[in-house]
Structure 1
């Protein structure tokens, strides 16, 4: 199963000093930019690779990496051929999960939904053009990457993304689609704007979205939007299954009512 995380995320450039907010601290931004170079990396990175990916000079990168190592946010790779993120980053992941009110509110319902479906159940939260997995409750057959929080998928070709888009205005949908790269992940990924909009309209009418093999081959996913206190969509619940066990229609008939009931309970709360 291929990894598709961070597909719509790039390292954010540090603003020009002449244009920056007077409260903006460039040194902090550069340190975070260095950490962001590991997004999508498949191996440890050398100083030269970090400098190239970040657009920051090597001497500055060297000082930042040294500081991050001293603080536990970066480590030497086990083979000593580069650098990897440090264990202290997990402390911040824990802080985000335990202090995010949406996650706290959703978790009990998600656990109940996982018990009722027997399939993988996820919560993802929106970050501009993508959904980032914040909670993942696994089924019996998941691969390594499908178990990791922090993986992300684009809005335009995923069930959760289209469920979220269906709760936005047409103008907002058009803006998001125009800014998305709409790259195909499988031969079945929809990239045509008209076809994607039709799927969003269908999700608006049904109250859920369904996507089969658009990101991962052999996978069918049903998504329902999760909203904030102002009824704005902020993420989605996903139920994921295998097409070796389900056809799309049976998956929908079994799990759409459960997903919509769960989302309704969360959104009322």
Structure 2
């Protein structure tokens, strides 16, 4: 049974985040807003805490390799430039360790120097890895024409996301043809499970064996916010079970509303979900439930009829 709605009829999930002014004709969305980090315990940063959990008791676990990959994952946007101090802050790794890792990754082409010679950006070797992934996983390409049609039909931002730890990462995205108001996120953007409707849909699409460990990590890291997060998850799980999609009003940003659905493809590698988002003054809760969500499900049904999705 779904929780009672506010008397205004507008459902708001998650903490009350500060409103930002809207630029003329452009909504500044997820990619320009720093990701809300999980709650920290002591001096251990979130990524380092996850590394320690994996390392514990596993003799096959190569810590040096994991730390190098942590450095690459510290980059939240393909165009972002970071110095060793910033990377150390994001990963929880000691700065001398970060310095050695960035030197190694620079030598191998996974990082490149910025113009100042002090900061780093992602290098071409990372692009080669992402291209190899897309070649091996044909589902995003098969879904492309259908999700582009959806973006045009609803005149909104449509993203195909893939589970990545406690985030969903955009692997493809589309904007409606002729769309005049756009969001600024790009491929590679990471959206937290804990405060996004795409994250809620992703969790809802898993079986309990897959979902349980992630929910437990969210419970540990959310701290005092866990009761509110748990209520949001329960609502979204119920909506996905009943309608196939769930609605988010202000879950990620107050000025952005969205609808999302889990999606499964035969033979696809990973757990996918589709997110349709736009400015709150256009994509109201009523519009999402009455129009956008059903159109999303119609698109998934078209792909299912052709065997592209289960």
Category of TM-score, reference length = shorter chain: 0.7 to 0.9
Task: List gaps (5 residues or longer) in structure 1.
Answer: none
CA offset at residue 39 of structure 1?
4.6
CA gap 1:122/1:229 in 2 versus in 1, 3 angstroms? same
Matches of 1:30 and 1:230 in 2, distance apart? 30
Which of the numbers 33, 45, 69 marks the counterpart of 1:3?
Answer: 33
Which of the numbers 106, 124, 130 marks the counterpart of 1:69?
Answer: 106
The equivalences for 1:219-234 within 5 A come to 219-229=256-266, 234=271
Q: Tell me the C-alpha RMSD between the 2 structures.
A: 3.7
CA offset at residue 117 of structure 1?
2.0
Matches of 2:277 and 2:227 in 1, distance apart? 18
Structure-2 residue corresponding to 1:31: 68
Matches of 2:191 and 2:276 in 1, distance apart? 14
1:141 partnered with 2:181:
yes
The higher relative CO (CA closer than 8 Å, separation ≥ 6) is in: 2
Which is worse superposed, 189-198 or 78-87? 189-198
Which is worse superposed, 9-18 or 153-162? 9-18
Structure-2 residue corresponding to 1:166: 204
8 Å Cα contact 1:160-1:236 kept in structure 2: yes
Structure-2 residue corresponding to 1:20: 59
The equivalences for 1:187-266 within 5 A come to 191-229=228-266, 234-266=271-303
1:110 partnered with 2:155:
no
CA offset at residue 158 of structure 1?
2.6
Matches of 1:260 and 1:39 in 2, distance apart? 30
CA offset at residue 197 of structure 1?
0.9
3-state SS of the aligned residue for 2:146? helix
CA offset at residue 100 of structure 1?
1.6
String of CA shifts for 1:179-218, please: whole Å, max 9, x gaps: 2134899xxx983423431331122111110101110122
Structure-2 residue corresponding to 1:129: 166
3-state SS of the aligned residue for 1:153? strand
TM-score by length of 1: 0.77
3-state SS of the aligned residue for 1:123? strand
3-state SS of the aligned residue for 1:132? strand
TM-score by length of 2: 0.68
CA offset at residue 91 of structure 1?
2.6
Task: List gaps (5 residues or longer) in structure 2.
Answer: 1-27, 39-45
Q: What count of residue pairs does the alignment treat as equivalent?
A: 260
